[in-house]
Each structure stands twice: as C-alpha cells, then as structure tokens.
Homo-oligomer: A and B are copies of this chain.
Amino acid sequence: MRLGLDIGGTKIDAVALGADDAVLARVRIPTGFGPHAVLANAQAAAAQVAAAAGGGVATIAAVGIGIPGIVDSSAGVVRHAVNLGVDELALGAELSALLDTPVTIENDVNAASLGAYRMLGLERSAAYLNLGTGLAAGFVLDGELWRGVRGTAGEIGHIPIDPAGEICACGQRGCLETVASGGWLARKWPTAAALPVLDVFDRADEGDPRAITLRDQLVDGAAAAVRILVLTVDVDTVVIGGGLSNLGSRLFDRIVIALDAQARTSQFLGSLALASRVRLVPLEQPIAAIGAALAASPTGESIRI
C-alpha cells in the first residue's frame, strides 16, 4: 500500500491507499513543532495508519508527503515551513531511513492538486486554486504535477492586480492575495469570532456594508485568479479549494456568478466559458493526504495519475 501524509500547522492527516487507490484507513495526530517533532510524528502517523489498514510498516510500498514551505522534491528537503517551526529538514531522506521505504515530498498545494484531480475524476489538465491564509495554485497537466522549474509555479497570489491596492507582505502593491486570502480578510475585519471569514460572510448576509465590500472583493479576487490561471495556462478546470472553500456554495456560487457577470461584459471572456470550468473541491475528503499518497513513487520516477 501507499501512504499519504498531509502535514499541516496543527495536525498530520494520514491515509493508506490500497492497490486500487481506495482509502483503506485514515489517522490524524498532532504535528508538533520543530524538525524533531515533525519527523517523529510523521513516522508515528505512518506506522499508525499502516496498522489501521491492517499492515505493518513492512507492507508500505511508498510514502508521499504534502507539507507547507519551500519544497525541493528532487532533494526531498523542505525549507521555511514557518508554521511548523522547520527552517530546513531533509524529510525525504530521514523518514525514508526510519521507515525503510521510498518517501516523496511535495508542496502541500501540489499534493492537494493531485488529490482534487483524482477525487473529482478530472482528465487532461487542471489547476487547483488554494484560497487559504494565502492564495496560491497548483497544476496537474496531462495527469502530471507541474511544479515549475524552481518549484514556484502557481505563486499567483503575488501578481499585482491594482496599482492603487495595499502594500503586500511581499513588498509589492495590490497583489491578488491582498484582496482574496483569509489572512488579509482577517486583518481587515478584526473580530473575536473564531473564523473571521465566516463572520464576514454572516455579517454581509445581514447587510453590513463593509462586510459586503470585503466579501465581494474576495469573490472578485478569486474570479480574477481563475481568469489568470485559464488565460495563462489554459487548463480545462480550476478547482476551488483551501480553507476558505469550507464556506462551500456560499463562496463557490458567488465565484460562479462573478465569472458569469464578467463574461457578459466581454465576448472574449464569454468564449472562454470560465463559469463552467470551475469546480468546488470535495469538502468531505482528505484530498491533500490522498494527493500525497498518489505522489508517492516507489521508483522515484515522476508519477502520472
């Protein structure tokens, strides 16, 4: 069996896939903080999910990992995973030695891209738009992950779309991320609510004008991201995912409406049929962990799913 580990800021979500890529078992344990804890917990999650699937570590053919930060997949190294307290970790080699099995590591958005592509039964080419604390995308082109030459493909959150916009943390002005990310929305909407974005949507539904403005900026920014992805790479499908996608149809339907409205102002955009090319990620599935498992390569070769 192949294992997939989605290593997030708070928990590791691990799945075991059988020969037909069906999910045999799922385990979630805390991530911990710092390289030693992350490595030890990744090992523990792998052992636990293998056991839950009815096998020992000896039955693991390969492990795939999705992790935030700057990931060098060929070297198996993750850097600058700030939320995990990891400055640099040779996670691939170290976990491979502990488990005695090949380990593939991917950027978390890339892993989720593979999982969404598979779970939605997509074909040909797709982008996965991760609307989370930040905004970024992953690409599956002809069934294969496109990481880019330096592993920075999909960093569209830092494309400026408004010269009069706000200064982004990256130093540029008016980046897409400043209007269409959970992190920025939380900054602009100080609240005691646990989920600031949900609070913005709730208040907007009640008619709060500032909440409506922020919600509509977010929606328009997400629609702009879809447009950038299709105009540049011309993928068949853009999957809307990330933490904000848990708003479900409250967010997704508005993105579709925004794309439809744009299409009516431009014959060119209309010809691209963007509104019919977006999909909402399956919300009940551990797509990042599944995608990590799909990326797991027993031979070290790049995987086409």
Contacts and interface: CB of A to CB of B under 8 A. Distances in A.
Interface in A222-249: 224, 227-236
A61 interface: no
A142 to B, nearest CB: 9
Given A152-B272, A162-B163, A172 B266 contact: yes
B150 A146 contact: no
- Work out how many copies of this chain go into the complex: 2
B233 A148 contact: yes
Contacts of A162: 162-163
Given A151-B234, A152-B234, 13 more contacts: A137-B232, A141-B141, A148-B235, A150-B234, A153-B233, A153-B234, A154-B232, A160-B161, A171-B266, A171-B268, A172-B262, A228-B232, A233-B233
Nearest to A151: B234
Interface residues of A, number: 43
Interface of A: 124-125, 137, 141, 146-156, 158-164, 170-172, 224, 227-236, 262, 265-269, 272
Nearest to A270: B171
Contacts of A141: 141, 146
Contacts of A160: 161, 224
Contact of A232 (B125, B150, B229, B268): B229
A147 B234 contact: yes
A146 B160 CA distance: 25
Contacts of A156: 231-232
